[in-house]
């Protein structure tokens, strides 16, 4: 369990770059649709190169083979787990600070047991009350945010993050179930290429491409700036490739539902890393008493949750 938690925390460090860089691009005037879609365009290139250099041409051919064979599954999983998730996150950055979004994002800890139940998995009941502590922290952070901006801005930043908090674990759980093959409505994918974390992320990225094409067509944003092109490349590398692969690797090592819940819970550390990043790189103001209390409750709830789950 300690190894799974360590990998999850490391992933959260790289994930936090998403919130800091997305907020920076928003403040610079970059459109959220480009911020989200460009990231996955870069990820497609990075992941293909990584597989080619580490596993050879055959690995790429196997990825394409699995993608074509289960096309609709990967489009569904990629559109939900990557498309809906990240489009909602980048949209929120237009209306709120990155550390506020990172804190609100922790509602995914509450979403995980619900997702497990939907898929017919046993739901871990240990530490359920602690999720209320985490949720209280999220509420306090958003109350402080409401004092600084309009209620409309709070809603426009918080609601999409809540949607994202459910979309991401749904996409990941679809892949987990497909590999396990115990749900008839989900195809049983037994190809050995799925043992490779980079291959799994690449398959989800390929599946999300139709979503990004439709999003850009519907929003018709102005051309991205050079700064946005560079920042999205950094997000793609640090968060999209490194963090996502680490996180999915930890989830892949999880054999029991309570281990999956514990890995998902480590994402709460993104709050601390995002706040530190915004203060260091974006000269963000230090949060007030409500914000600090909310962060403290979230982190304390996380630590206690992990301890109880590991027992």
Interval 79-89: pLDDT, tens: 999 999 999 99
Would you list the DSSP string of 113-133?
HHHHHHTTPPPP-TTHHHHHH
Comparing CA positions, the residue from 248, 196, 222 lying closest to residue 78 is 248
- Tell me how far apart the alpha carbons of residues 109 and 73 are, in angstroms, rounded to a whole number: 25
Q: pLDDT over 70 for what percent of the chain?
A: 97
- Tell me how far apart the alpha carbons of residues 246 and 251 are, in angstroms, rounded to a whole number: 9
Comparing CA positions, the residue from 19, 93, 36 lying closest to residue 243 is 19
Q: Which residue has the higher pLDDT, 163 or 103?
A: 163
91 — pLDDT class (breaks 50, 70, 90)? very high
Report the chain's mean pLDDT, rounded to a whole number. 89
Can you tell me whether residue 284 is helix, strand or coil? coil
132 — pLDDT class (breaks 50, 70, 90)? confident
Task: Indicate the DSSP class of residue 280.
Answer: H
Q: How far apart, in Å, are the Cα atoms of 200 and each of 6, 64, 74, 189, 294?
A: 21, 11, 10, 11, 35
Q: What mean pLDDT comes out for the span 58-65?
A: 96
Q: Say what the pLDDT of residue 64 is.
A: 96
Q: For residue 301, is pLDDT > 80?
A: yes
Q: What mean pLDDT comes out for the span 167-175?
A: 94
309 — pLDDT class (breaks 50, 70, 90)? low
Q: What mean pLDDT comes out for the span 250-269?
A: 77
Q: For residue 93, is pLDDT > 70?
A: yes
Q: For residue 311, is pLDDT > 70?
A: no
272-306 b/e (C-beta count within 10 Å ≥ 16 → b): bbbbebbeeebebeebeebbebbbebbbebbeebb
- Tell me how far apart the alpha carbons of residues 165 and 188 are, in angstroms, rounded to a whole number: 26
Q: For residue 131, is pLDDT > 90?
A: no
Cβ-contact 294, 139 below 8 angstroms: yes
Q: Say what the pLDDT of residue 224 is.
A: 94
Q: For residue 127, is pLDDT > 80?
A: no
Task: Indicate the DSSP class of residue 242.
Answer: I
Tell me the chain's radius of gyration from C-alpha atoms. 19
- Tell me how far apart the alpha carbons of residues 74 and 137 are, in angstroms, rounded to a whole number: 35
Q: For residue 68, is pLDDT > 70?
A: yes
Q: Which residue has the higher pLDDT, 208 or 148?
A: 208
Whole-model pTM: value is 0.87
Q: Alpha helices of the chain — where are they, by DSSP H?
A: 2-27, 32-55, 57-69, 71-78, 85-92, 98-104, 108-118, 128-148, 151-180, 197-219, 226-235, 244-253, 257-265, 270-281, 289-310
Q: Which residue has the higher pLDDT, 31 or 242?
A: 31
Q: For residue 287, is pLDDT > 70?
A: yes
Q: Say what the pLDDT of residue 306 is.
A: 66
Q: What mean pLDDT comes out for the span 141-164?
A: 86
Task: Parse the chain into domains and list their residue ranges.
Answer: 2-310
């Amino acid at each position: 369990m300690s190894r799974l938690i360590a990998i999850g925390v490391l992933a959260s460090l790289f994930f936090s770059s998403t919130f800091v860089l997305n907020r920076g691009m928003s403040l610079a005037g970059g459109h959220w649709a480009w911020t989200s879609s460009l990231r996955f365009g870069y990820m497609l290139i990075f992941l293909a190169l990584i597989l080619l250099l580490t596993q050879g041409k055959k690995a790429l051919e196997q990825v394409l083979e699995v993608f074509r064979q289960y096309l609709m599954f990967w489009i569904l999983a990629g559109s939900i787990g990557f498309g809906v998730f990240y489009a909602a996150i980048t949209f929120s950055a237009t209306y709120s600070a990155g550390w506020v979004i990172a804190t609100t994002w922790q509602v995914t800890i509450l979403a995980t047991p619900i997702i497990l139940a939907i898929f017919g998995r046993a739901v871990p009941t240990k530490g359920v009350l602690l999720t209320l502590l985490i949720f209280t922290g999220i509420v306090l952070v958003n109350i402080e945010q409401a004092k600084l901006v309009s209620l409309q801005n709070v809603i426009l930043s918080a609601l999409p993050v809540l949607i994202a908090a459910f979309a991401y674990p749904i996409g990941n759980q679809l892949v987990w179930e497909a590999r396990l093959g115990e749900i008839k409505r989900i195809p049983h994918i037994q190809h050995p290429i799925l043992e490779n974390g980079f291959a799994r992320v690449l398959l989800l990225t390929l599946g999300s491409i139709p979503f990004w094409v439709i999003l850009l067509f519907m929003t018709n944003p102005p051309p991205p700036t050079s700064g946005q092109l560079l920042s999205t490349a950094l997000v793609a590398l640090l968060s999209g490739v490194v963090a996502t692969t680490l996180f999915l690797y930890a989830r892949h090592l999880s054999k029991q539902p309570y281990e999956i819940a514990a890995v998902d819970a480590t994402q709460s550390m993104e709050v601390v890393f995002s706040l530190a990043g915004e203060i260091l790189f974006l000269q963000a103001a230090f949060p007030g008493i409500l914000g600090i209390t909310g962060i403290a409750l979230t982190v304390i709830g996380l630590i206690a949750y992990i301890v109880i789950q590991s027992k």
